[in-house]
Amino acid sequence: MFHFVSKNPTASENSGYNCEACGFITGNKKDFIRHEKTLKHGRNVSLLFQKNPKKTPDHIQSDHQSVSIRHACIRCSGVFSSRVTLWRHKKKCKESHPLDTPSATNDPPAENTVLIHDFLSEVAKQNTHQNVAFIEQFTEKFMEKFMEMSTAPSLTITNNTTNNNTVNNQFNLNVFLNEKCKNALNMVEFIDSLEVQVSDLVHTGKVGFVEGITAILLNKMGELDVYQRPLHCTDAKREVVYIKNEDAWEKENDDKSRVRCMVNRIAKKNLDQIVKWAEENPDFMVLDSKAYNEYIQIGLHSTGGTVEQQEKNIDKVVTNILKAVVIDKKKESMALV
């Protein structure tokens, strides 16, 4: 186990614990042990030793002389002589040492909102063997951190009173939604029924977040009859959309919160495939291999970028979807004649 305390690593709880690598100070031993298992701690330690091993505190340096930091398990802090041994260990350790839920400590709040996009960008720039350490630790928390970054509102939102009046003299929105589309899927049902494949994740890595997530959603929409779709757009320019929620049609809010939530949920499903992809491509930890480069590309694109970029990219996906589900009023009007 790696200890990064300024005092004797066996100091009592009353004397306090200080992680020199992260600037983390606590009087609680359990909090300190929890801190040692964080992604931030592992990354800072690797950077500290990589930058200047001679100036690294003695108790840190001695550990590195025997076992590289890249062979440390972030769940139990155990160290192993090879990457293969660590890989095998992690499969068992995952069940016996589940990652702790972040609690209130003296760590900076930013630790719980690590920007995956920035992290992978830095890995791609450095392109050194030390990156293996970061990738191993990053993979462990890939899914957790993404969800913390892109927390979406619930699909179940207070119902809006909707008056589905006649849009023009021929097309009747009320008839279209409540009669023709009465058997449409609810938005939640649509999302739950959508199955994402590893191939979708790979495609997203090649074409980018906007095009990749748009393709997943439109392919599923294309499998449904028009009257089964969970949403319909009546005005593409103003992005006026109606959503089937809890067996009733409702006009979407101006901020498109439920449509954005749908995009977030599908992006999460897509990102979930990284685990299966890694199992199918074990060479992704081999520096400069085809799988390694593909892993970096997938990570950069499938997360949607930084928090600011995510918002813009989600907006673009929403726009693409609404354009694809615009009601053909002329066709529907002719059907009523």
Average pLDDT, the chain: 71
Residue 181 to residue 159: CA distance in whole angstroms: 19
Give strand pairing partners of 245. 248
292: its two tokens: 């390694």
Record the pTM: 0.56
Separation in Å, CA 184 to CA 12, 224, 248, 287: 63, 9, 10, 49
Q: What confidence category does residue 144 fall into, taking pLDDT thresholds of 50, 70 and 90? A: low
Q: How confident is the model over 261-296, as pLDDT tens digits?
A: 999 999 999 998 988 998 899 888 887 889 888 998
Q: What confidence category does residue 79 fall into, taking pLDDT thresholds of 50, 70 and 90? A: low
Residue 239 to residue 241: CA distance in whole angstroms: 6
Separation in Å, CA 219 to CA 30, 148, 187, 193, 195: 49, 28, 16, 13, 11
HSE-CB at 309 with a 13 A cutoff on CA atoms is 14
**Higher pLDDT among residues 122 and 13, named by residue:** 122
Q: Where are the domains of the chain?
A: 13-112, 173-336
Q: How confident is the model over 175-188, as pLDDT tens digits?
A: 999 999 999 999 99
